[in-house]
Amino acid sequence: MATATVTSAPIDKEWNEPPKVTVQAVPPVQVHDTPILNVLDESVHYGDFRDDLARDGYCVVKNVLEKEKALKYAEDIKDWLESFGLGYKRDDPSTIREECLPIIHQKGLVQAYGATHESFTWGVRSEPAVIDVFAKLYDTEDLICSFDAVNVSLANRQDLPANGAWPHQDQDPERGGLRCVQGFVNLLPNGPEDGGLLVLKGGHKVSEEYHNVFRNEERGFRWTNEIYLFKETGLKWLADRGYEWVKVDAEPGDVVLWDSRTPHYNASPKQNTDRFVVYVCMLPVSTATQDDLKLKKKLFEEQHGHSHWPMALQPFIKEYLTPMRNGKPDPLNTWKPRQPPQLSERGYKLTGIPYIKAEA
Ligand SMILES: [Fe+2]
């Protein structure tokens, strides 16, 4: 695995500001407890990606999809970008600008426009080899998958500021232990200058100690208790203990995983290669309650998204995510996929719907 140690960038101040919209939910959105996962014992030698994940808090699972298949999914995303009819053409760099594209935030996350349930998104989630990674991790075939975003970071965007650092953990600081393994399927070549995921290598191991030290710090807005945003003081505490940021490189078809306690963020491309990934996070269905599964069914039927927690802890809040064009909601955002998915039997299980028990 090619990695590069990088120095931390200035913290993205915008990310710490509350959104300028009115929502019904009063942050932080409190969600229910999550179980500790009884996997990834570092004293065990697995002989595969689990050794890296347990030791470093992240890993790259190589060649999960064939390169050609991953690149085909990337072409599907470019088809999708062109299908809006705004002028984007994959071979014309002059069209890499907002007027020609759906609205994409500088972090590259696409949570609107139905992308969560688009055909290519479900295609990637449902790939047997992708499911097999999580089946091996959790030693079960009974899995549910997040209805999360895709990342479409186009290189050479002149009209977007570079993405500042937004180091965070995606787990409630009051709930220690391994509770979730996040991931994405990487679709394009991703080297040191191509933007993408940065992780604080090994940072998962010190998470509980860290939060004992910083429990009483003043905190800014968080939309849910299941995220923690680091400040300069906390980052210095980690740096003083020798923890270093690493840019994670990957090839098309690789799956990148990380322990949700591992501090991380993503960076914008610096050169000419786009970054396309589909976020895929799976957990055993046993981590979800029946009410979680019923909510997940409702979200699936309404083609609504939720965060990386597969048990639908945090449905997307549309008021936060509505893409704005010229100060108004983009009429091209219908929250529906442009090409609805055709789910395989194994893909459908990932919705959690088959695991809902009949009412007595
Ligand atoms: Fe994150």
State residue 162's pLDDT score: 75
Q: 252 C-alpha to center of ligand 1: Å?
A: 21
The model carries a pTM of 0.92
CA of 94 to the centre of ligand 1 (A): 31
Structure tokens at 156: 């050479």
Distance 169 CA to ligand 1 centre (A): 6
Gyration radius from the chain CA atoms: 19
pLDDT of the residue at 186: 98
pLDDT tens, N- to C-terminus, the chain (360 residues): 334 444 445 555 554 444 444 433 344 567 888 999 999 999 999 999 999 999 999 999 999 999 999 999 999 999 999 999 999 999 999 999 999 999 998 889 999 999 999 999 999 999 999 999 999 999 999 999 999 999 999 998 888 877 778 899 999 998 999 999 999 999 999 999 999 999 999 999 999 999 999 988 887 777 788 889 999 999 999 999 999 999 999 999 999 999 999 999 999 888 899 999 999 999 999 999 999 999 999 999 999 999 999 999 989 988 888 999 999 999 999 999 999 999 999 999 999 999 999 886
Which position has the token pair 């295609």? 123
CA of 86 to the centre of ligand 1 (A): 30
Quickly count: other Cβ atoms within 10 Å of residue 148's Cβ.
25
Ligand 1 centroid distance, CA of 168 (Å): 6
Domain extent listing, the chain: 50-355
Residue whose C-alpha is closest to residue 196's, from 261, 132, 138, 270: 270
Distance (angstroms) between ligand 1 centre and the Cα of 360 equals: 39
Q: How far is the CA of 92 from the centre of ligand 1 (A)?
A: 32
Q: Give 6 Cα–ligand 1 centroid separation in angstroms.
A: 18
The architecture (CATH level 2) of 50-355 comes to: Sandwich (2.60)
Distance 263 CA to ligand 1 centre (A): 8
Q: Give the Å distance between the CA of 283 and the centre of ligand 1.
A: 16
Distance from residue 329's CA to the centre of ligand 1 (Å): 26
**pLDDT given at position 114:** 96
Q: Which segments of the chain are extended strands (E)?
A: 3-6, 58-61, 109-110, 143-145, 150-153, 168-169, 181-186, 196-200, 228-229, 245-248, 255-259, 264-267, 275-279, 282-284, 324-325, 328-329
pLDDT of 143:
98
CA of 358 to the centre of ligand 1 (A): 35
Å from CA of 227 to ligand 1 middle:
8
359 C-alpha to center of ligand 1: Å?
Answer: 36
What pLDDT score does 25 carry?
37
| Cα(189) to centroid(ligand 1), Å | 21
Compute the distance from residue 3 Cα to the ligand 1 centre, in Å: 19
Q: How far does the centroid of ligand 1 lie from the alpha carbon of residue 260, in Å?
A: 8
| pLDDT reported for residue 219 | 76
Rounded to the nearest whole angstrom, what is the distance from the C-alpha of residue 48 to the centroid of ligand 1?
Answer: 24
CB 188, CB 276: distance < 8 Å: yes
What's the 323 CA to ligand 1 centre distance in angstroms? 20
Q: Are 323 and 101 in contact (CB under 8 A)?
A: no
